Chain A
Amino acid sequence: MNTRNTGSAGSGLGEWILQRLSAVYLAVFLLWLIFHFLSSPVPDYAAWKTWFSQGVVRLGFALFFVSLLIHAWVGMRSVFLDYLKPLWLRFLIQMLMGLGLLAMGLWAAQILLVEAVR
C-alpha cells in the first residue's frame, strides 16, 4: 500500500479514511439538523434548553464536534501541505492549528457537558 518510503509520515491512508468517514457523519447530521429546525422551529428559551439538554441530542452534537475537528484538521493539513513550503513555517502553523482545534474541542465539551445541563 505504502510503496514510497515516507518514514514516520505513513501513507496518509488513515487521514484519507478519517476525512471521508467524518464527511459522511457531518453531512447526515447537518441535513438532519436543518430538517429538524424547519419542521419544528424553536419557540423560546425553555424549549431550546429542554431540547438541547436531551442526552441523544448532546451525543449527536458530541459526535458532530469530534467529526468536525477531525475533518478540519485533515482538510487544513492538506491546504498547508500545498501552500506552505518552508518546513518551519508549516510546522508552526500546523502546531497552532492543532492547538486551536484542541481548544475548540474542549470548549465544545464544556458546552455539552456543563452548560447544556445547568
Chain B
Amino acid sequence: MSDTYPKRPVYLNLLRIRLPVGGVVSILHRITGVLLVLLIPVFLFVLQYSLANNEAYVRVAASIGSTGGRVAALILLIMLAHHLLAGVRHLLFDVDIGIGRIAARRSAWLVLVVMAILAIVSGGCLLL
C-alpha cells in the first residue's frame, strides 16, 4: 500500500499551518470560553464581596475604577464580546444561515473587524 501512493506531506508544525480565518475565530471562541469559565469564581467572589457591607462595596468600586481594574474590565469585555459574537455566528450556522464557504469566511472577518472596532472604542472609553 505505502509503495503505491506518494508520501504525503504531514504538516503538524503549528508554525507552518495557515489556519483559515474561520479557524482563527473558532479557536479564539474556544480559548475565551475556557478563560471565562476560569473567571466564574472571581466573578462570584466580587459579587459576594460587593454585597457584604458598605466598606466592601466601596473597596470593590474603587478597585474596578482604578487603572488596573479598568484594564481588567476591558480584557473581560473583549473576551466576552468575542465569545458572544463568534457564538452568534455559530448559532446562525445551526439554522443554515451563512454556511457557504465565502459567506462563512466573510462572517469570520466581520467578527474580527467588529471586535477590533469594539476594542478600540471601549478601550478609549475605559482608559482615556
Sorted nearest first, the 6 A-B pairs with minimum C-beta distance are A45-B57, A45-B54, A72-B37, A75-B33, A111-B48, A107-B44
B40 touches A111 (CB 8 A): no
Bound Cα distance A70, B33 (Å)? 13
Q: Does A35 contact B (CB under 8 A)?
A: no
Name the CB-closest residue of A to B31.
A79
Which B positions have Cβ atoms within 8 angstroms of A?
Answer: 30, 33-34, 37, 40-41, 44, 47-48, 50-54, 57-58, 80, 84, 87-88, 91, 94
Name the CB-closest residue of B to A103.
B41
Contact pick for B37, options A45, A52, A75, CB 8 Å: A75
Majority-rule SS of B interface residues: helix
Contact pick for B87, options A27, A44, A107, CB 8 Å: A27
Complex interface: chain B residues within 8 A of A36 (CB): none
Q: Does A68 contact B (CB under 8 A)?
A: yes
Knowing A45-B58, A104-B44 touch, does A111 contact B51 (C-beta < 8 A)?
Answer: yes
Complex interface: chain A residues within 8 A of B44 (CB): 104, 107-108, 111
Name the CB-closest residue of B to A118.
B51
A-B contact pairs, 20 of them (CB 8 A): A20-B91, A20-B94, A24-B91, A27-B84, A27-B87, A27-B88, A30-B80, A45-B57, A48-B50, A48-B51, A52-B51, A68-B40, A72-B40, A75-B33, A79-B34, A111-B47, A111-B51, A115-B51, A115-B52, A116-B51
Bound Cα distance A79, B37 (Å)? 12
Give the distance to chain B from A65, nearest Cβ to Cβ, in Å. Answer: 9
Give the distance to chain B from A29, nearest Cβ to Cβ, in Å. Answer: 11
A76 touches B37 (CB 8 A): yes
Give the distance to chain A from B91, nearest Cβ to Cβ, in Å. Answer: 6
Q: Which of A30, A45, A75, A104 has the most CB of B within 10 A?
A: A45
